Amino acid sequence: MSIHKQPEKAGGLASVQSTIKHLMQSHRTKDNIKNLLRVNQTDGFDCPGCAWGDNTHGAFQFCENGAKAIAWESTDKQLDSSFFKTHSVSQLLKQSDYWLEYQGRLTEPMRYNHQTDHYEPISWQGAFALIADKLKQLTDPNQLELYTSGRASNEAAFLYQLFGRLFGTNNFPDCSNMCHEASGVALTQAIGVGKGTVVLDDFEQADAIFVLGQNPGTNHPRMMNALRKAAKQGCKIVSFNNLKEVALKKFASPQSPTELLTPMATQISHLYLTPKLGGDMAALRGMAKWIFEQRSKQINRNFIQTHTHYFDDYQKVVTQTSWQKIEQQSGLTQAEIAQAATIFIESNKVISCWAMGLTQHKHSVDTINEVVNLHLLTGQIGKAGAGLCPVRGHSNVQGNRTVGINEKPSAEFIRALEKITLVKLPTAPGHNVYQALKALHQKNSKVLISLGGNLAQAAADTQFTHQAIKNAELNVQISTKLNRTHLLVSQDALILPCLGRTEKDNKVSGLQKITVEDTFSMVHASKGMTDPISANCLSETEIIAQIAHACLEQNINWLALKDDYSKIRDLMAKTLAGFADYNQKIEQPAGFHLTNSAAQLNWQTKTKRAEFGFNQLPEHILSDCYSEQINNKQVQFVLQSLRSHDQYNTTIYGMDDRYRGIQGERRVLFINQQDAEQLGLSQGDKVDIQSVCDQGILRQAHNFKIVYYDIPRGNLAAYYPETNPLLSIESIGEHSYTPTSKSIPVSLKQITDSLNINVIS
Ligand SMILES: Nc1nc2c(c(=O)[nH]1)N[C@H]1C(S)=C(S)[C@@H](COP(=O)(O)OP(=O)(O)OC[C@H]3O[C@@H](n4cnc5c(=O)[nH]c(N)nc54)[C@H](O)[C@@H]3O)O[C@H]1N2
Ligand SMILES: Nc1nc2c(c(=O)[nH]1)N[C@H]1C(S)=C(S)[C@@H](COP(=O)(O)OP(=O)(O)OC[C@H]3O[C@@H](n4cnc5c(=O)[nH]c(N)nc54)[C@H](O)[C@@H]3O)O[C@H]1N2
Ligand SMILES: [Mo]
């Protein structure tokens, strides 16, 4: 019997009601209604919600979670020095992530005083001088770690990497390392470019759209409009998801009066398959095997011959993979896989989309390679209505990479930067998130600067990560809201409050715009509309320019750049491929498209052809750091950590997950009823989750409530960041270094009253 009720459909009136609630809670309802009307409009600002693109050319698009992101940023609650005077850091550490961010917008630069354990006010110039002083003391520039979260603008990110490289390091760990890194690695290897090959218009032409390991109803709600429209036109949507996500079953557009006001909704998925966690590579391999066995005549031999390499090796490995292994690892039957393969081979134009369900596993690079393989086998790339679509997360994470946030810069990019700086820049690879945390933990790195984000709660292995951040001799956080990363301090730390995307950025040269790139490689301008929360907040771009000005011998006029962002764009035009005439191009209403070589059948790979991958299925889907436990059969369940409907990564907006029928709580564990019963667990019982021990460390997350769910046996799901303590720092994807957040080996321990102690957040 179920104690929670899932809705029949996603979207609809409930979505409008939820939006109104969040707008009211911002205490700036009027401003935010105005904000909503300007989001993604010409002369408006880019939605900080997600990286999905827009082609509505001026029409208003309603998006519940975009509205939540805006309302959360644009609140009238302020957090200034009086707050920090009242609360010591040790006291703040006891509060939940939700409480910390809920206190409001940061409005004053603050410095940590380790003697009093309080943050105290500091002037902006004092803060910049402090950073300069500390950086001068470093004995090696690689003792500096420069983290970026993907909300920063192209201008801020470009200056940030320029500053770092002039200082002498390529240490640019960024949120991508925990997110779509595997997509970049796999696509670069296979098709010569690490980005998706489709644009939004392609969705209107596709005959089939595969949505793999992605929950767009919550995380990319504007994508639902594209899927709904496609479904209505007869496009076959095939979902591969470990869970039955309601939006992928039925979606009611809040923009359609009938679907808004009646129980009507559009059926989204034509076929919905629920593979086991990490089972997608096997399922995709199975589709190829079925095509080779049953429909070999429909394989696109012409495309293969003209455009690809390694076909024979691929065919061999597909043939050698047994159906038994495919069924066992995917958890799907041959008949189910055949249904998906039939749709793939019978459609003239196919798009495949994917997100974290594919990228956060040990063998994610190989899995994404397997998606590409199917597209190469059938020539489903480089034509209208077909191609590959890794759906990015943060609204400008793709732009950040394009403008140089990359720990492994290309020689060509470094040469271009050297032309404008006239300085020799470092070429040796720097640190990604995994390497940065290890270096901080070992005290080899000494300073952490973060351009946004919340590394403490975003990264795996909470205990290890917290210690690593705490080890920094100086922890500098450029942020809008208070979070746990600000509180992991020992010696010195700074909180530098910045403007958000929604706010006006006024400089001596006038109101500034910034630029961003969406998941379809469309680059466009964004201009804030509301008055800044405080005159004492600076833009991210200015903060970075001022840090660089204070720290570096001058051969770049940083202060001129901070006063007029078009001058930064001029530098970008000189150094980045496809950015010529940047200032002019962003004046076009919808911006401009950065061309994608693979979409033009131009393969920038080693062989100058699109390359089939020919990897074996993994022996086991779990990271090799658990091999001993796997051999000893200690793995009871595989857990995925995912997002609720009321959160934005580590930012918790509320305690509900409406589409999964959860209200007022986050410490829930989704489990198959038969698995629960076999363990003697009933709905509502409490358990501790233990990950299998690696490196002699027992990792636990306490006090989760059992919720029966439609989930494959042996698999579990619970929210992140609460589950991050369970994931070993060593459990990372092959070639991607991404934490395997969707495959954590765990066992459960029922809590009886006497054991119900030690609840940590
Ligand atoms: N409102 C909101 N919007 C967001 C975010 C947010 O937190 N809140 N975060 C942003 C960011 S940075 C990102 S990266 C994206 C994330 O967007 P998503 O990738 O959609 O996010 P997750 O919640 O991690 O969901 C993963 C989905 O994959 C499924 N899944 C997990 N493992 C597997 C598997 O092995 N196989 C298959 N087939 N399915 C699997 C899960 O059931 C779930 O539906 O969203 C962005 N947009
Ligand atoms: N277990 C598990 N872990 C995961 C994931 C998972 O699925 N499971 N997902 C991973 C993914 S996909 C990602 S992308 C990472 C996310 O990692 P991050 O990007 O580091 O985390 P966020 O939660 O997005 O960062 C929130 C903070 O950013 C700041 N902020 C918000 N807006 C702005 C702004 O405009 N400017 C500045 N300067 N600061 C701002 C606020 O202070 C806020 O507290 O987490 C990863 N971690
Ligand atoms: Mo992400």
The DSSP element (H or E) to which 640 belongs, if any, is: strand 637-642
- pLDDT tens-digit map of 308-327: 999 999 999 999 999 999 99
Pocket test for ligand 2, best of 649, 689, 720, 727 (most atoms within 8 A of CB): 649
Quickly tell me which residue has 């919808």 as its tokens.
590
Structural contact between residues 487 and 460, judged by C-beta atoms closer than 8 angstroms: no
Going from the Cα of 491 to the center of ligand 1, the distance in angstroms, rounded, reads 36
- Closest Cα partner for 63 from 53, 77, 73, 78? 53
How far apart CA 85 and CA 606 sit, in angstroms, is 58
Omega before residue 257 within 30° of 0, cis: no
Q: Answer yes or no: CATH 3.20.20.70 is held by domain 181-391.
A: no
How far apart CA 596 and CA 602 sit, in angstroms, is 9
- Closest Cα partner for 492 from 463, 510, 472, 513? 472
The residue contributing the CA closest to ligand 2 atom 46 is 458
Going from the Cα of 219 to the center of ligand 3, the distance in angstroms, rounded, reads 10
Going from the Cα of 69 to the center of ligand 1, the distance in angstroms, rounded, reads 17
637-642 and 647-648: which strand pairing?
Answer: unpaired
Structural contact between residues 330 and 286, judged by C-beta atoms closer than 8 angstroms: yes
Q: Other CB atoms closer than 10 Å to residue 548's CB: what's the count?
A: 25
Angle at 84 between CA 78 and CA 85, to 5 degrees: 120
Q: Which atom of ligand 2 is nearest to the CA of 723?
A: 1
Q: Answer yes or no: CATH 3.40.630.30 is held by domain 624-755.
A: no
The residue contributing the CA closest to ligand 2 atom 41 is 481
The residue contributing the CA closest to ligand 2 atom 45 is 458
Token pair recorded at residue 503: 């706010």
Quickly tell me which residue has 């078009």 as its tokens.
566
Q: Which ligand is nearest to the CA of 50?
A: 1
Q: Other CB atoms closer than 10 Å to residue 625's CB: what's the count?
A: 18
Token pair recorded at residue 410: 């290309």
How far apart CA 244 and CA 241 sit, in angstroms, is 7
How far apart CA 356 and CA 280 sit, in angstroms, is 12
Going from the Cα of 157 to the center of ligand 3, the distance in angstroms, rounded, reads 17
- pLDDT tens-digit map of 52-79: 888 765 666 778 888 888 888 888 899 9
Dihedral pair phi/psi, residue 354, rounded to 5°? -155, 160
User: Which CATH code for domain 78-174+406-590?
Assistant: 3.40.50.740
Residue 759 has a pLDDT of 37
Q: Which atom of ligand 1 is nearest to the CA of 245?
A: 44
Compute CA distances 443 → 5, 111, 470, 474, whole Å: 49, 21, 10, 12
CA atoms within 13 A on the CB side of 311: 20
Q: Which atom of ligand 1 is nearest to the CA of 273?
A: 38
3 state DSSP class of 285: helix
Chain-centroid distance of CA 264 in Å reads 32
How far apart CA 219 and CA 75 sit, in angstroms, is 22
Edge-first strand order for the sheet with 236-240 is: 271-273, 236-240, 208-212, 350-354, 387-390
Residues of the chain with pLDDT below 50 are: 1-2, 754-761
The residue contributing the CA closest to ligand 1 atom 6 is 648
Structural contact between residues 507 and 526, judged by C-beta atoms closer than 8 angstroms: no
Q: Residue 574 is which amino acid?
A: K
In this structure, the residues whose C-beta lies within 6 A of any atom of ligand 2 are 101, 149, 151, 175, 178-179, 356, 360, 393-394, 451-455, 458, 478-481, 483, 498, 500-501, 540, 641-642, 649-651, 720, 723-724, 741
In this structure, the residues whose C-beta lies within 6 A of any atom of ligand 1 are 49-50, 65, 179, 212-215, 218-220, 240-243, 245, 275, 277-278, 280, 355-357, 393-394, 640, 642-643, 647-649, 742
How far apart CA 318 and CA 311 sit, in angstroms, is 11
Cβ contacts of residue 228 below 8 Å, gap of 6+?
A: 251, 253, 266, 268
Residue 58 has a pLDDT of 60
C-alpha torsion 517→520→522→525, nearest 10:
-40
Going from the Cα of 583 to the center of ligand 1, the distance in angstroms, rounded, reads 34
CA-derived radius of gyration, the chain: 25
- Closest Cα partner for 235 from 259, 266, 257? 266
Pocket test for ligand 2, best of 175, 214, 486 (most atoms within 8 A of CB): 175
DSSP 8-32: SSEEHHHHHHHHHHHHHHTT-HHHH
Q: Which ligand is nearest to the CA of 65?
A: 1
Chain-centroid distance of CA 466 in Å reads 20
Pocket test for ligand 2, best of 110, 159, 394, 454 (most atoms within 8 A of CB): 454
DSSP summary character for residue 754: G
DSSP 530-542: BPPS-TT-B-HHH
Pocket test for ligand 2, best of 102, 178, 484 (most atoms within 8 A of CB): 178
Structural contact between residues 673 and 710, judged by C-beta atoms closer than 8 angstroms: no
Q: Which atom of ligand 2 is nearest to the CA of 106?
A: 42
Cβ contacts of residue 453 below 8 Å, gap of 6+?
A: 147, 148, 149, 151, 175, 485
| 42 φ/ψ sector (left φ>0, alpha ψ -120 to 50, else beta) | beta
The residue contributing the CA closest to ligand 2 atom 39 is 452
The residue contributing the CA closest to ligand 2 atom 17 is 458
Going from the Cα of 394 to the center of ligand 3, the distance in angstroms, rounded, reads 6
Q: Which ligand is nearest to the CA of 211?
A: 1
Q: H helices then E strands: how many in the chain?
A: 32, 31
Token pair recorded at residue 574: 């000189």
Structural contact between residues 120 and 84, judged by C-beta atoms closer than 8 angstroms: yes
The angle, 0 to 180 degrees and rounded to 10, between the axes of the packed helices 154-167 and 565-575 is: 70
Q: Which atom of ligand 2 is nearest to the CA of 73?
A: 32
The residue contributing the CA closest to ligand 1 atom 17 is 219
Going from the Cα of 359 to the center of ligand 3, the distance in angstroms, rounded, reads 10
Going from the Cα of 355 to the center of ligand 1, the distance in angstroms, rounded, reads 6
Residue 367 has a pLDDT of 98
Q: Which ligand is nearest to the CA of 741?
A: 2
3 state DSSP class of 553: coil
Q: How is the chain split into domains, by residue range?
A: 78-174+406-590, 181-391, 624-755
Going from the Cα of 383 to the center of ligand 2, the distance in angstroms, rounded, reads 35
Cβ contacts of residue 20 below 8 Å, gap of 6+?
A: none
